[in-house]
Structure 1
């Protein structure tokens, strides 16, 4: 069994497989081996990462085989066309008629109806039973009575010959073409089949018939069927894909299959994988999970329109309906629909999936979703509101709820930290005692990703930043210092807890605030702040509004993690700690009486 390869110099494991020599010209530009780093020195982790690369390798091999087969078929067609140059279609129809007669003779012989016939020398596959054979002969007699239908039985014989495991009935022609082109014998399996297929293409083209639709009812159905139910048609002289009625090649994967290949191709954020899986499943529901080579730009646009009309918060009852019925229901009942940002995320899932089919799986040549425009954003970049002064008073004078999974201490301190730091809820939930630091006598919160050592040692998901600018230092406001926040941090250090709010549980996406977020929203609803645009994130807007006009914009952006390129140019990692402290002290909420809040905080260490 294949296993990860360990580089003896670095100790890093790799996926490494030798590419078959015959496929190298069609595999990644002639490479002799396929090698991808597994980015780990841990053998167990390497084995886990090995399988996705093995899947991609096999898919690339399949693509190389298809390309090689297509190359052989083009060469074979050129050789067959050259060999048959000047031969009239009448002669080719004669060959097809002879093959049909040989097949019938072989079947007669197999059923004991004749002693010795030329067709018995060839393998035409498993013979039908005597009753089916008689029905087949009767059908041929009926077709022969209508001159323009006579070639139909010949075409059906060609179809059955093409479906044979070998091409023995036309072996003589394949050998003649090989000799004429000075090819060695025996031929490779691929070239042998390609020449036979190209010859059968030419015979089908010569025997092509056109049946008036009004007369199709008089055509009796075939008795003998070869593994394919495709309708006969005349192939073009040099079609892009062969139109001979042969067993179809391996179909292109469906969009859900390609997505799953993308999802396991390399390590990805679990939440993104699940969100995009939902988007791709919606596309599959809308279009019956089409193979990626049949997806059109119109289908992607239809998906965009459908997503834009879907209800934003559909319950199980609505979500179980067909997508178009969900759209109709949302329109009829005036339900809020998915935001442009959500629709554009769904479009991104389709674009990335099809790009994987192009670049990695090589099962399609182009990405039709690239030309589909994203939906324009709504006028407001962020529709969430800031808290008004009366709202702040209500928040900090209302009793805190008792809920499982979240202590009163955690709920209290996250509420108090939010308006004075502008931290996101997930940033607060992932604070460790070590994130509270001091520089030049100024205590501050360091919002930063876990150091490499911590990421390597911990078993759970590591702490990551939402954006690059989210990495920042936030001096502690004097109200937080007066409330005893540093005492609370010292207590957690003394207890040896890993997290500042240790009872919060990490979900499968690495978030520690799923339960806290629900409790927080229920609390706001319970005290009358039920507007859907008033959420925990509103504290960030409230804090920015409190310092607007008092502090330079670039300093505000640094504190709240909204820095742009110009800020990084001016300040690098950030401004001087004294500048940041002076800026944070400009946050004031005069409507709130903080004395009882501070007194309560002293009991929450």
Structure 2
């Protein structure tokens, strides 16, 4: 884009502005210093050119008007002190009986300014006057909680009154807040009608006189904030039924906040342990200060300190306080540092707590917001198995040697591990989802056997199935190959033993994780059969299942439903999903011919 005189771009934000140097004689009229600078509110160069043409025309018109006024008026103006005296006398005037007539004028003026701010910011309280009749009826219905009651019943009136009371602000509160937040260029135009009214009352010329209008506007903005003027405002009786209390608790310690967070958010035991560790380390690093004293710099420094820790430490070092461990490793170059994912877990726990404190209004700002970890990505670095890797994996002795002869003496039986692998292959389910299945979750509908992955709980057993998200609650039809290998026979044998869980040998640890040992055995098997690629883990079955579904031309909504992935659009979130029979038909399309199923079936019968 060719350079255009007066079109300027802020290098930090990328936003374009009109920036014109004001002739020195006209600077008092513009009252904005040496340069006239107004944002064009766009970073697009072509759009900026269009908006600049309009803004530049407005500037040139002001320039011409001020030059004409200067030539005709001979410099007619008010000093700042003169304008302040006139405005103050006007707004504090009293009647012969002592009534503060200026206070009434101030109240009306502030209400008009509040409405002007609401128009500009889109925060106007809905009224019958500001809406069409259809919008007003819809608004009343929404407050009344009914689709057919649009009458002004006592309940509806009470709801409207409560809505307006909740959103009520004292006269001028919106204006003063707006004035504090924005530059003079934005709030000055809102005083236009008030300045005209003051000039009329002072019997000043009504035509635009920058030398008069601008000092009056500045004097008015300052006088409206003075105690002498605001104390005259009539006090409206409050509809509040109880004394307002501040929710701010800046002196609350991080440990106390952790307890509130646990009670409100009910996180998993694993998340609780991670948060407790992060809080302990943060306090060791920053000190046991109130949450209102924690700054963004504290969070940044903590992140940088965590990044200095090694990926693994001797047991003696793990027992040290965070500050002591950091002192040992901070300057060393011979250690492998924590991964960005691990650093994010530390920092993320503190960010979650501070975000919770901000949401609950215990603190006025969230010092942990916006702090990133270099190299961290939510996107998993795991990859799917290739078909060749799956062929090698399911050719391992665990699957092709006699299933009746134990291969390992692990706490997790060979049979449990086989079914976990086979279920992972044909369902794409997470290992913990599979490990928590109850026998009651294996069901049948219209001749289709399936697994119901739900939050079902046996009345007499404390075994709550915990899944990752609401979308993870789903049904998984059994693939014909599982049935051929005797999965339903296995289920029958477990039921005959009066077992409750599908895999009784998977016992929850202190964090209520049932598949920790199974995951370790699975990782060793994958390393031995496929290779030690850190990107290939049990979770890779989930990625592979999606690929297999695509290869079989199974519709996306079907394999999303089978894997518990949320719908990508709003429409996909409606309905209960496809029926079990329909899902089973699609499940049969999975092409698994690259695996030697004959060898596995023979081994399963030995």
TM-score (norm 2): 0.52
Counterpart Cα distance in 1 of 2:501 and 2:255: 39
Match of 1:448 in 2: 454
User: In the TM superposition, what are the counterparts of 1:553-592 in structure 2 within 5 Å?
Assistant: 553-566=556-569, 569=572, 572-592=575-595
Match of 1:394 in 2: 392
Give 1:295 deviation, angstroms.
Answer: 1.7
Give 1:256 deviation, angstroms.
Answer: 3.4
Q: Which runs of 5+ in 1 are unaligned?
A: 1-249
Counterpart Cα distance in 1 of 2:580 and 2:358: 50
> For the Cα contact (< 8 Å) 2:437–2:501, is it kept in 1?
yes
Give 1:567 deviation, angstroms.
Answer: 7.5
Give 1:534 deviation, angstroms.
Answer: 1.1
User: In the TM superposition, what are the counterparts of 1:145-544 in structure 2 within 5 Å?
Assistant: 252=251, 254-260=253-259, 262-263=261-262, 267-316=266-315, 319=318, 320=320, 322-323=325-326, 325-329=328-332, 332-333=333-334, 335=336, 337-340=338-341, 342-354=342-354, 365-375=363-373, 378=376, 381-400=379-398, 401-451=407-457, 454=458, 457-459=460-462, 461-527=463-529, 529-544=531-546
> For the Cα contact (< 8 Å) 1:300–1:372, is it kept in 2?
no
For 1:552-591, what per-residue CA distance to the aligned partner results, in whole angstroms no more than 9, with x for missing partners? 2221111111122538736623213333223222322332
SS for the counterpart of 1:405 is: coil
Structure 1 pair 481/308, CA: closer, same or farther in 2 (3 Å)? same
Structure 1 pair 367/457, CA: closer, same or farther in 2 (3 Å)? farther
Counterpart Cα distance in 2 of 1:378 and 1:350: 16
Structure 1 pair 328/486, CA: closer, same or farther in 2 (3 Å)? farther
Match of 1:168 in 2: none
> For the Cα contact (< 8 Å) 2:296–2:367, is it kept in 1?
yes
SS for the counterpart of 2:367 is: helix
> For the Cα contact (< 8 Å) 2:355–2:369, is it kept in 1?
no
Structure 1 pair 438/399, CA: closer, same or farther in 2 (3 Å)? same
For 1:258-307, what per-residue CA distance to the aligned partner results, in whole angstroms no more than 9, with x for missing partners? 43454467854222111111111221222233343432111112122333
Counterpart Cα distance in 2 of 1:304 and 1:280: 13
| Moved segments of 4+, more than 6 Å | none
Give 1:529 deviation, angstroms.
Answer: 2.5
> For the Cα contact (< 8 Å) 1:318–1:326, is it kept in 2?
no
Aligned match of 1:548 in 524, 540, 550?
550
CA RMSD of aligned residues (A): 3.0
> For the Cα contact (< 8 Å) 2:456–2:465, is it kept in 1?
yes
Mean CA deviation greater in 592-601 or 560-569: 560-569
Counterpart Cα distance in 2 of 1:397 and 1:479: 16
Give 1:425 deviation, angstroms.
Answer: 0.6
Counterpart Cα distance in 2 of 1:416 and 1:365: 50
Count of residue pairs brought into register by the alignment: 345
Counterpart Cα distance in 1 of 2:389 and 2:310: 30
> For the Cα contact (< 8 Å) 2:310–2:335, is it kept in 1?
no
Give 1:531 deviation, angstroms.
Answer: 1.4
Counterpart Cα distance in 2 of 1:554 and 1:264: 36
SS for the counterpart of 1:397 is: coil
Counterpart Cα distance in 2 of 1:397 and 1:567: 43
> For the Cα contact (< 8 Å) 1:285–1:323, is it kept in 2?
no
For 1:46-101, what per-residue CA distance to the aligned partner results, in whole angstroms no more than 9, with x for missing partners? xxxxxxxxxxxxxxxxxxxxxxxxxxxxxxxxxxxxxxxxxxxxxxxxxxxxxxxx
Counterpart Cα distance in 2 of 1:415 and 1:409: 10
Give 1:596 deviation, angstroms.
Answer: 1.4
> For the Cα contact (< 8 Å) 2:355–2:366, is it kept in 1?
no
Structure 1 pair 565/266, CA: closer, same or farther in 2 (3 Å)? closer
Structure 1 pair 375/579, CA: closer, same or farther in 2 (3 Å)? farther
> For the Cα contact (< 8 Å) 1:477–1:585, is it kept in 2?
yes
> For the Cα contact (< 8 Å) 1:386–1:538, is it kept in 2?
yes
SS for the counterpart of 1:474 is: strand
Give 1:508 deviation, angstroms.
Answer: 2.6
Give 1:527 deviation, angstroms.
Answer: 3.3
Structure 1 pair 335/582, CA: closer, same or farther in 2 (3 Å)? farther
SS for the counterpart of 1:547 is: helix
Counterpart Cα distance in 2 of 1:568 and 1:491: 43
For 1:221-257, what per-residue CA distance to the aligned partner results, in whole angstroms no more than 9, with x for missing partners? xxxxxxxxxxxxxxxxxxxxxxxxxxxxx99454335
Counterpart Cα distance in 1 of 2:489 and 2:253: 58
Counterpart Cα distance in 1 of 2:298 and 2:582: 54
Structure 1 pair 579/279, CA: closer, same or farther in 2 (3 Å)? same
> For the Cα contact (< 8 Å) 2:453–2:474, is it kept in 1?
yes
Counterpart Cα distance in 1 of 2:565 and 2:528: 31
Give 1:423 deviation, angstroms.
Answer: 1.3
For 1:388-426, what per-residue CA distance to the aligned partner results, in whole angstroms no more than 9, with x for missing partners? 233222222222340331111111111111111111111
User: In the TM superposition, what are the counterparts of 1:117-132 in structure 2 within 5 Å?
Assistant: none
For 1:195-245, what per-residue CA distance to the aligned partner results, in whole angstroms no more than 9, with x for missing partners? xxxxxxxxxxxxxxxxxxxxxxxxxxxxxxxxxxxxxxxxxxxxxxxxxxx
Q: Which runs of 5+ in 2 are unaligned?
A: 1-248, 399-406
Counterpart Cα distance in 2 of 1:407 and 1:251: 53
